[in-house]
């Protein structure tokens, strides 16, 4: 396989970029206005009621053809089939990548080392259903007989962000009286501030850790355990109030979790792709198993779309190709996600790990350093808040920031015409970013406002909007579990497709190890409170200063 930048389609895109880089989307829309609505028809696609309008992008027919040629030249469909069929595409850990099997609602066999893994996936789903229905139904109670009303998930990264964004997004579907909390940070404040508002007798702790070795999770779990025993004086009751979700059952047993309170998943599920596994236990407790399975249904529907729809209408593939277009040809260093829905406020945090821990790589699958940009910086904020935070930069800054805008057509919380105002802002912002405002338009506006000629000359340059800022609009009917599942799977597959094109392994994360390694050594130094000169001058001085400030354990 030739290097990415030597591919025929890549070279064709480079040549095409020189022709189109200064073309304004205003003109692309004008050209095609003659064929009323053609641009939207050509550059949009749908999966169930999820519509992707990608017409406000700096592309024409030729661009889109060449991007699709690129997907075919790197054999996206072949790689996709390898992933779904359990090939060990996670090459540095010699593992398959099978989060799709977790939501394989067709139940067709999926083999790992000759074993059809669907039976054990279904066994764990049944275990989750049984457990959560007993807790939610009041049949499984705290050791004093009180109902469980607070669930605290202790986990970090993929053992936190996935279930966290889902529970946050699905509040309207939650059972009244059941609260779910997420503790992830090693900062003692995180656990402390949550424990202030719960009682041990009615609290269930879920210790979520694929490896069951993550320092933050184990320390938080031990502190929670200590809190529980100190308040209840009942060591034996721990077993009733602590369960574990892990791929390392032995370590969970050593922590004191009973076998029947362990929910397993497997090493062929990446942490950041694991919310569909038993890591979704807090989701099932909070929303009920039927809603959790609706989430799986939605993800499965997106999997089927990804597997069967031609590249030209394939939602994850299109998002991936457009991301490559801006990242590698327009030198956009980041990609923003604006969810115009307050329930989705944690979506950027989830996508940051999904995207940046998958594609923040410089070494390709052959072990060589790449000579092109790979994963973008992912960030974002809910709309309309984003408009009052950083839209100045998006509209008139010097940095290109391609962005996804998402919105449900319907709201769960009708309040006057506020949802209409939200939708109007969603539509206005993507239009403004695309068309901008010309000097002539700005001038006539100022004249119409009666601004004097002299003042117009002063203020006019600041009132011009270059426009030509690309956005994808994703509109769907309702933010319900099925739709959310489909959207999250869409982003998983987008990340996968980009990793294939960049020829990197999206499924390991060696980059997170080094910091942890150094922290362990510095932690010992802090405890020893001895004079420090063994690190660099900055670290030595910072340790010394922290001590002077009476650093407290
Ligand atoms: O951030 C590194 C990482 O390994 C993530 O990939 C993972 O989701 C997180 O830490 C937590 O790991 P575990 O679930 O094993 O505690």
Q: What is the pLDDT of residues 431-481, one digit of tens each?
A: 999 999 999 999 999 999 999 999 999 999 999 999 999 999 999 999 999
Selection from 495, 480, 85 nearest residue 293 by Cα: 480
Judged against a pLDDT cut of 70, whether residue 415 lies above it is answered with yes
- Please enumerate in sequence order all residues whose Cβ is within 8 A of that of 269, keeping only pairs 6 or more positions apart, or say none: 98, 99, 102, 210, 247, 277
Mean pLDDT of 324-350: 98
Instruction: Give, for 112, the enclosing helix (H) or strand (E).
Output: strand 111-112
Neighbour tally for 10: CB within 10 Å: 23
Give me the residues paired with residue 292 across strands: none
- C-alpha 159 – ligand 1 centre gap (Å): 7
Pocket of ligand 1 contains residue 86 by CB under 6 Å: no
Pocket of ligand 1 contains residue 380 by CB under 6 Å: no
Q: Report the share of the chain in percent with pLDDT over 90.
A: 95
Mean pLDDT of 525-537: 88
Nearest CA to ligand 1 atom 10: 157
Helices 347-359 and 161-169: crossing angle in degrees, nearest 10, is 150
- C-alpha 245 – ligand 1 centre gap (Å): 13
- Please enumerate in sequence order all residues whose Cβ is within 8 A of that of 431, keeping only pairs 6 or more positions apart, or say none: 56
Mean pLDDT of 347-361: 98
pLDDT band for position 552 (cuts 50, 70, 90)? confident
CB of 116 within 8 A of CB of 110?
yes
Pocket of ligand 1 contains residue 360 by CB under 6 Å: no
- Please enumerate in sequence order all residues whose Cβ is within 8 A of that of 60, keeping only pairs 6 or more positions apart, or say none: 20, 23, 28
Distance separating alpha carbons of residues 182 and 154, to the nearest angstrom: 6
Catalytic residues: 357, 388, 516
pLDDT band for position 33 (cuts 50, 70, 90)? low
Judged against a pLDDT cut of 80, whether residue 34 lies above it is answered with no
Judged against a pLDDT cut of 90, whether residue 410 lies above it is answered with yes
**DSSP symbols for 427-442:** HHHHHHHHH-B-HHHH
Neighbour tally for 455: CB within 10 Å: 11
Pocket of ligand 1 contains residue 158 by CB under 6 Å: yes
Nearest CA to ligand 1 atom 8: 158
Neighbour tally for 469: CB within 10 Å: 24
Judged against a pLDDT cut of 90, whether residue 390 lies above it is answered with yes
Mean pLDDT of 10-32: 95
- C-alpha 358 – ligand 1 centre gap (Å): 12
Looking at ligand 1, which atom is closest to the CA of residue 158?
8
Distance separating alpha carbons of residues 469 and 101, to the nearest angstrom: 38
Looking at ligand 1, which atom is closest to the CA of residue 216?
16
For the record, the structure tokens of 492 come out as 């998983």
Nearest CA to ligand 1 atom 1: 157
Nearest CA to ligand 1 atom 9: 157
Judged against a pLDDT cut of 70, whether residue 74 lies above it is answered with yes
Distance separating alpha carbons of residues 378 and 332, to the nearest angstrom: 11
Selection from 321, 313, 362, 312 nearest residue 70 by Cα: 321
Looking at ligand 1, which atom is closest to the CA of residue 271?
8
**DSSP symbols for 190-201:** HHHHHHTT--GG
Looking at ligand 1, which atom is closest to the CA of residue 272?
8
pLDDT band for position 35 (cuts 50, 70, 90)? low
């Amino acid at each position: 396989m030739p290097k990415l930048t030597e591919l025929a389609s890549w070279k064709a895109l480079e040549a095409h970029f020189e022709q189109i880089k200064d073309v304004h989307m205003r003109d692309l829309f004008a050209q095609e206005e003659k064929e009323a609505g053609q641009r939207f028809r050509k550059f949009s696609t749908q999966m169930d009621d999820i519509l992707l309008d990608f017409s406000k992008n700096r592309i024409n027919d030729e661009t889109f053809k060449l991007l699709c040629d690129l997907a075919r030249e790197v054999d996206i469909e072949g790689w996709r089939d390898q992933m779904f069929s359990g090939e060990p595409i996670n090459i540095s850990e010699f593992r398959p990548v099978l989060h799709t099997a977790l939501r394989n609602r067709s139940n067709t066999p999926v083999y790992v080392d000759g074993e059809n893994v669907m039976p054990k996936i279904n066994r764990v789903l049944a275990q989750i259903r049984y457990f959560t229905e007993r807790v939610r139904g009041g049949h499984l109670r705290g050791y004093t007989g009180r109902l469980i009303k607070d669930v605290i998930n202790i986990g970090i990264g993929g053992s936190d962000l996935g279930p966290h964004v889902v529970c946050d997004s699905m509040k309207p579907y939650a059972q009244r009286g059941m609260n779910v909390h997420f503790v992830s940070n090693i900062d003692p404040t995180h656990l402390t501030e949550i424990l202030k508002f719960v009682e041990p007798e009615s609290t269930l702790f879920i210790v979520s850790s694929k490896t069951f070795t993550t320092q933050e999770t184990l320390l938080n779990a031990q502190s929670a355990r200590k809190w529980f025993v100190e308040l209840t004086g009942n060591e034996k009751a721990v077993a009733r109030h602590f369960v574990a979700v892990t791929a390392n059952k032995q370590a969970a047993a050593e922590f004191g979790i009973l076998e029947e309170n362990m929910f397993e998943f497997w090493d062929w599920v990446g942490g950041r792709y694991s919310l569909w596994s038993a890591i979704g236990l807090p989701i099932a407790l909070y929303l009920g198993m039927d809603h959790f399975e609706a989430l799986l249904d939605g993800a499965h529907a997106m999997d089927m779309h990804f597997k069967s729809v031609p590249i030209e209408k394939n939602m994850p593939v299109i998002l991936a190709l457009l991301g490559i277009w801006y990242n590698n040809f327009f030198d956009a260093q980041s990609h923003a996600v604006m969810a115009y829905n307050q329930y989705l406020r944690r979506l950027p945090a989830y996508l940051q790990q999904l995207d940046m821990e998958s594609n923040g790589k410089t070494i390709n699958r052959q072990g060589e350093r790449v000579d092109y940009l790979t994963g973008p910086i992912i960030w974002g904020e809910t709309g309309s808040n984003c408009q009052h935070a950083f839209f100045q930069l998006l509209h008139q800054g010097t940095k290109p920031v391609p962005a996804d805008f998402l919105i449900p057509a319907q709201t769960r919380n009708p309040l006057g015409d506020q949802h209409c105002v939200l939708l109007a802002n969603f539509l206005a912002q993507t239009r403004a970013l695309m068309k901008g405002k010309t000097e002539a338009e700005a001038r006539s506006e100022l004249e119409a406002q009666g601004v004097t000629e002299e003042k117009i000359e002063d203020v006019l340059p600041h009132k011009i909007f270059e426009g030509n800022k690309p956005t994808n609009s994703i509109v769907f009917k309702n933010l319900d579990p099925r739709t959310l599942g489909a959207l999250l799977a869409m982003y998983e597959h987008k990340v996968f497709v980009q990793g294939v094109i960049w020829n990197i392994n999206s499924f390991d994360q060696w980059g997170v190890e080094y910091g942890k390694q150094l922290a362990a050594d510095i932690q010992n130094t802090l405890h020893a409170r001895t004079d420090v000169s063994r690190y660099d001058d900055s670290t030595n001085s910072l340790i010394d200063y922290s001590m002077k400030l009476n650093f407290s354990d």
